[in-house]
Structure 1
Amino acid sequence: MNIGLMIVVAVIVGVVIYMEINKQLPRINEKELNPDMSRYMMFADKIDDEIDALRKGVLFGETKLFDSEKKDEFLEKLSSLRKELEFLQASHATNKNANIWEEKLAEFLAKFESVVEEYIKDGEAKNDEIRSSLQSKF
């Protein structure tokens, strides 16, 4: 009699576990098929905010350039970077691969950092500041 009761309890537990697994599988499959890439778009927006803050810093004299005569050239490079970032966002808006997003954003950030180091006095410190700001936002 105890063995029969144990078998009935085991079957009931098995059925409950089976039902719970079947409830969770559609949610897991949906997340795999439609991953949320909005965090990469928002991160790109934060990068754009950093570019804009740097542009304003140069325009208002808060950020010093190595050569003040190259101010227009630097601002033009920042404008080009912003356009490139917008293109990156538009061309990868439907991309569902996190690795590709991360690769493209890393390439872009490397380019941005090189421009900052080329034109800004104390560019390495400015890059560290930008990196820590972006890191806190991601």
Structure 2
Amino acid sequence: MVVSEGRPLRAQLQDFRRTPHRIAIVVDEYGTLKGIVTLEDILEVVVGQIAERGEPILSDLAGNGTLEIRGDVRLRDLNRELGWNLPENEAATLAGFVVGRHRGIPPVGQELVLDGYGIRILERRGLRLDRLSVRPPEAPPG
């Protein structure tokens, strides 16, 4: 299945419901490949982060307030669950926030301070930030 990048999510969700396809290739107006979209991608936009069974979204690293967080966790969910104040208007996910503020994809081991949050890149797969450690502003460095 091939879809236009401007296709509304609701229309694509309906197509996924009507057909056995659960993945679509996204192209721009010139037919250039822009990426892929899956049923899970759309559902996560609608209902929030979906964790695989047994897969933690957050895990405590050191007991000093530093958390290990998957890069695809939504900033809205972090703010709501942890009482944080990460800017939700710049990106949807933690990884998107880091990449946008860093203006590139930081290497594994890089440490950043963004809006007072200490962030270290723990794992990267290709161009995707998979795991990061985050220390909120009030937590002591560790």
TM-score when scaled to structure 1? 0.24
TM-score when scaled to structure 2? 0.24
Q: Which has the higher helix share?
A: 1
Q: Larger relative contact order (C-alpha < 8 A, sep ≥ 6)?
A: 1
